[in-house]
Amino acid sequence: MSLIQAFRGLRPAAGQAGAIAAPPYDVLSSDEARQRATGKPWSFLHISKPEIDLPREIDPYAPEVYAKAAENLQKMLAAGVLVRDDASCYYAYRLTMPGMGANGGDHVQTGLVAAANVADYDSNRIRKHEFTRPDKEDDRVRQIEALNAQTGPVLLAYPASATADILIDAIAQGAPAADVTADDGIRHQIWVLQDAAKIAAITQTFDAMPALYIADGHHRSAAASRVAAARHQQGRQMSADSFLSVIFPHHQMKILDYNRVVKDLHGLEESTLVARLGAAFTVEESAGRVHPARPGEFGMYLAGRWRKLVIKPELIPDDPVESLDVSLLSNHLLGPLLGIADLRRDKRIDFVGGIRGLGELEKRVDSGEMAVAFALHPTRMDQLMAVADSNNVMPPKSTWFEPKLADGLVSHVLD
């Protein structure tokens, strides 16, 4: 089986994309999803967050929730608001994020919607960089089995390929099949490719690539692998041998900073903490907010003041994981000075995606909720790929990808 393949996508009927497209299932709480879906009977949230159609006290992982998802999908199919392509297709997916590109312009990235090979995921040709949690995998397995479909795409990146870029850009011409601007201002456009020769050319181009890289969606891809393995054991259908993905060129991917806030100073006085920083960092006072301009730079907001911290070069190791800014901050500040040894379990630390801005860090410190905040330079895609190539994993909360894919624009039915 090829690294990727075309498939018969399940998509909004003509004119229905705006009514259906929804934020990813994992970025909204149940209450937020209920609010977003109010007055929108065809919102994909009724499938991706089906607890919104059940009593508020329902456990979101209860069997009734997955059954409701299947029921809601069948209603949308019966109403004709979701339709399935007659033949296997590839799809171009373009995301446009206003004001987040170079010099304040728009950030634009154009990728390919495809079915990625589970066997290549299992063999690590589709490479991972995060651990997964069994409970979250279980949730996605139940969702896939209830729907007999994969509705949440895995965000993948492909290494530099001018040929792939050209082939995908060629799909994204003319009027799109779907064109939706979401509440957050992100524009989502879908084009459909049905030409067999062009589909074959794309498949061959991707087959020549050494690897693909998971950017976001480790639990979705792991769940797809589990479903495929279970169905093999049962002698059931083989369309489960692939999983829904959207694959962008790595150089178009946008990673924002993933910042840290800590509740207390671990018994230290402010002056003591600042003095001890000098062992690993040069410390500079700042008249305003500190946006780290390069790797190895950090902003620290403490007691209403910003300082710029720069890691001493001799402390940066030649290691794909330990050289990451998130690792340097943990190894030389959060751990030894603030006593944060386990980022996954320590309740004294929280994480703030860069989309919220440095103002959110100030707000949480100034309110007294947190004692200190740290602004980081964003992890780069080449760093993520180097970690994955080395068969290692990133530290928790290392990457915040924007813009996010929408749910509902293309889904993958398991025949």
Give the pLDDT score at 112: 98
Q: Which long-range contacts (CB under 8 A, 24 or more apart) does 287-295 make?
A: 289/358, 289/362, 289/375, 290/358, 290/375, 291/358, 291/375, 292/257, 292/325, 292/375, 292/376, 292/377, 293/377, 294/377, 295/325, 295/377, 295/380
Question: Domain ranges in the chain?
Answer: 4-254+402-413, 258-377
Whole-number Å distance between alpha carbons of 122 and 226: 10
Give the pLDDT score at 101: 79
Task: Say if pTM beats, i.e. exceeds, 0.85.
Answer: yes
Mean pLDDT for the stretch of residues 379-385: 96
Cβ atoms 216, 49 nearer than 8 A? no
pLDDT category of residue 238 using cuts at 50, 70 and 90: low
Q: Which fold has domain 258-377?
A: 3.30.1760
Whole-number Å distance between alpha carbons of 253 and 247: 10
Cβ atoms 87, 194 nearer than 8 A? yes
The string of pLDDT tens digits covering residues 290-346 is 999 999 999 999 999 999 999 999 999 999 999 999 999 999 999 999 999 999 889
More confident residue, 132 or 239: 132
Whole-number Å distance between alpha carbons of 234 and 228: 10
Whole-number Å distance between alpha carbons of 299 and 61: 39
**Distance linking the first and last C-alpha atoms of the chain:** 17
Mean pLDDT for the stretch of residues 356-370: 97
Q: Give the residue from 86, 111, 94 showing the smallest Cα distance to 11.
A: 86
Whether residue 235 has pLDDT greater than 90? no
pLDDT category of residue 4 using cuts at 50, 70 and 90: very high
Q: Give the residue from 44, 320, 337, 89 showing the smallest Cα distance to 190.
A: 89
Give the pLDDT score at 139: 96
Radius of gyration of the chain (CA): 22
Residues 6+ apart with CB under 8 A from 408: 12, 20, 21, 22, 43, 44, 47, 48, 151
The string of pLDDT tens digits covering residues 196-219 is 999 999 999 999 999 999 999 999
Whether residue 362 has pLDDT greater than 80? yes
Other Cβ atoms less than 10 A from the Cβ of 332: the count is 18
Whole-number Å distance between alpha carbons of 368 and 40: 39
Whether residue 239 has pLDDT greater than 70? no
The string of pLDDT tens digits covering residues 275-290 is 999 999 999 999 999 9
Name the region of 15 (left: φ>0; alpha: ψ -120 to 50; beta: rest): left
Whole-number Å distance between alpha carbons of 132 and 262: 24
Whole-number Å distance between alpha carbons of 384 and 392: 10
Mean pLDDT for the stretch of residues 59-83: 97
Q: Give the residue from 319, 325, 321, 116 showing the smallest Cα distance to 214.
A: 116
Give the pLDDT score at 237: 64
Mean pLDDT for the stretch of residues 242-257: 96
Whole-number Å distance between alpha carbons of 400 and 340: 21
Cβ atoms 254, 403 nearer than 8 A? yes
For the chain, what is the mean pLDDT? 96
